[in-house]
Amino acid sequence: MHSIARTLVASVVRRAVTLSARDAAAQPTARFLATAATDATKFTTVQVPIGKESVTLHSIWLRDHCRCPACWHPVTKQRLVETQTIPKDLAATDVKQTDAQVQITWKDGHVSTFDKAWLKDHAYGQTAQLRDLEETYEPALWGSEIAQNPPSVQYDEVMGPSSAGLRKWLENIAIHGFSFVKGVPASVEKSKELVKRITFIRESHYGGYWDFTPNLEHGDTAYTSLALPAHTDTTYFTDPVGLQMFHLLEHRGTGGESLLVDGFKVAAELRRLHPDAYEMLSTTKVAAHCAGDADTYIYPHPRYHALLNHDERGKLVQIRYNNNDRSVLNHLSFDQVAAYYDALQKWQAIAHERKDLEYWFPLGPGTVVIFDNWRVMHARAAFTGYRRLTGCYVNGDDWRSRLRTVAGVNRKMC
């Protein structure tokens, strides 16, 4: 199993006394108070009853997470107390509990009240662990078979007075990495209104909402009639764009079919067939650039990033792959160069040659496609004639935020 997850700093080991809820209620308050602290940290602790047990927590952690209106703004969900002002040796003078809450009175007279359910969700232990307290969507990996039933939603559903259609649209993207919108009026303004149903359009050196033909307005092969291999966009940004939307308004000619490839599926195949190559592309960082316009020279800061990027648990969350935009490879050792090219070619053999992973389709007026640029690679066949394509970018954080709000995701991690 891939081992990208990092080890978190372990807590200082100390003995915790476990009490049942019945015993806790019967014991004098002093049983819940502890002022002992290690010489190394000088942080005091408090024994807090939660359910049938009690847990030893640092006083500073409890005060730092106090949810009273003086410490935590109930509307903005923001902390109001400067953590530096909380003494390391803060002592509790009283601990009381009801069936649902724990109330702690501190030496300075401040009172903190916690719901036991909240404490149960968030109280930490001797071993560090990452928690999934909010609802998430598991990606459904796909190949060419997605053509039989591609995820889609109707324009009128998305633009309707309720958020049900918008939620369906965003959940399609979260699960499958892309979605069509059918029945979209063939105009720039209506297309812009559609994407703004999610959030604002992300500006870039290409502008906001694009409307372009193959005229090399920008120094990028997208502004030609050439075929484009499967890739993700803006690998040269520090924060690559989250979503990309296309609406083909006109094409008088041949070719130009669109291709989508599930990058997470490609990565899964690479890990299955070539685990060493997967590890190499997860740990070896390379540079990318955008320098086709005279007034543009973009590269990310920090400069180098891996093709496969993972979260703290080792779960794949982002692909940064555009072979055309990769910068000079001059920072690796002799052995690393050979290993990197070997891994890259194995990736490309799956991403570019496996027909069972390709979903080809024609775009046309009235049908919008939008996809997760952190997951789904896109490509285009060469074409002839006049072709007018419109589209835009959306930030990753903002479309995911919109999904959480329309889906009613809890805010336990605040």
Write out pLDDT tens, residues 103-156. Answer: 999 999 999 999 999 999 999 988 888 877 777 899 999 999 999 999 999 999
Q: Is the pLDDT of residue 17 over 60?
A: no
Q: Please write the tens of the pLDDT for every residue from 51-60.
A: 788 999 999 9
CA dist 4 and 6 (Å) reads: 6
Residues 173/370, Cβ–Cβ less than 8 Å: yes
pLDDT for res 41: 65
Q: Is the pLDDT of residue 16 over 60?
A: no
- Length of the chain equals 414
Q: If you average pLDDT over residues 321-330, what whole number do you get?
A: 97
Domain limits for position 51: 45-121
pLDDT for res 36: 45
**Angle, to 10 degrees, between the axis of helix 275-283 and the axis of helix 263-273?**
130
CA distances (Å), 137 to each of 44, 172, 373, in order? 40, 10, 17
Residue 249 domain-assigned (yes or no)? yes
CA dist 343 and 284 (Å) reads: 10
pLDDT for res 97: 93
Give kind and range of the element (H or E) at residue 22.
helix 21-26
Q: Please write the tens of the pLDDT for every residue from 340-350.
A: 999 999 999 99
Residue 277 domain-assigned (yes or no)? yes
Least confident of 35-39, 143-147, 155-159, 398-402: 35-39
- Residues 144, 258: one domain? yes
242: nearest Cα among 174, 290, 172: 174
Q: Please write the tens of the pLDDT for every residue from 384-393.
A: 999 999 999 9
| CATH number reported for the structural domain that contains residue 163 in this entry | 3.60.130.10
Tell me which of 60, 88, 121 is where a domain ends. 121
Strands 45-50 and 33-34: antiparallel
CA distances (Å), 124 to each of 14, 57, 207, in order? 13, 8, 47
Tokens 């910068």 map to which residue?
327
Tell me which of 83, 99, 121 is where a domain ends. 121
- Residues 115, 148: one domain? no
- Residues 71, 138: one domain? no
| CATH number reported for the structural domain that contains residue 102 in this entry | 3.30.2020.30
- Residues 230, 297: one domain? yes
Q: What is the pTM of this model?
A: 0.87
Specify which residues 231 forms β-bridges with.
378
Our count of domains for the chain comes to 2
pLDDT for res 411: 87
Residue predicted with more confidence, 210 or 127 = 210
- Percent of the chain whose pLDDT exceeds 70: 90
CA distances (Å), 267 to each of 176, 225, 282, 318, 343, in order? 15, 29, 10, 10, 12
Cβ within 8 Å of residue 69, ≥6 positions away: none
pLDDT for res 147: 98
- Residues 338, 406: one domain? yes
Least confident of 23-32, 113-122, 217-226, 313-322: 23-32
- Residues 192, 50: one domain? no
Tell me which of 77, 93, 121 is where a domain ends. 121
Q: Is the pLDDT of residue 379 over 60?
A: yes
Residues 201/209, Cβ–Cβ less than 8 Å: yes
106: nearest Cα among 119, 89, 121, 127: 89
E strand spans, 92-185: 92-97, 101-106, 111-115, 152-154, 178-182
152-154, strands of its sheet edge to edge: 152-154, 178-182, 367-372, 243-252, 386-394, 210-212
Residue 85 domain-assigned (yes or no)? yes
Structure tokens at 198: 């999610």
